[in-house]
Amino acid sequence: MPKHPLSTTALLGSREIRFLDRQTTNYPNLMRLCLDFDFCVIQLLHKTSVPSASKSFVLTTQDYRTTPTAAITPAFANMTQLEDYVTHHQVDILHDYLFGFVDEDIASGQAD
């Protein structure tokens, strides 16, 4: 899964979307990644020339504030689109999250 860069210069702000109840969520795959793994859904508020700034949603890891990592998913206009993307790519997302560093070390020739 390729990572997607987050350009902070084009943002007015962001906020984390919290999943509180496993029984009543409309986004079960996003909820599972956030509660069972260290993922976080971020709503981004983009700078635009129009009075109402555009919003998008991305999936990141919990350490997005302290490390310069890119978003796990591309940005989507709404949570339903993000849920659909995660549903179709969940195995790849979890594989890269859990085992991705092994593949990168082998590819760079640093695994001994």
Give the pLDDT confidence of 21-42 residue by residue, as tens digits: 777 778 999 999 988 888 999 8
Q: H/E element holding 41?
A: strand 39-46
CB 93 within 8 A of CB 52: no
Which pLDDT belongs to residue 84? Answer: 97
Distance of CA 67 to the CA centre of its chain: 14
* pLDDT of 107: 53
Angstrom distances, CA of residue 82 to CA of 3, 56, 102: 15, 9, 27
More confident position, 64 or 89: 89
- Which range has the worst mean pLDDT, 11-15, 74-78, 102-106? 102-106
Residue 112, pLDDT > 50, answer no
d(CA 21, CA 8): 31
Higher-pLDDT residue of 30, 66: 30
Average pLDDT rounded to a whole number, residues 71-88 = 92
Q: What are the boundaries of each domain within the chain?
A: 8-108
Which of these ranges, 6-15, 17-26, 31-40, 66-75, has the smallest mean pLDDT? 6-15
What was the pLDDT predicted at 49? 52
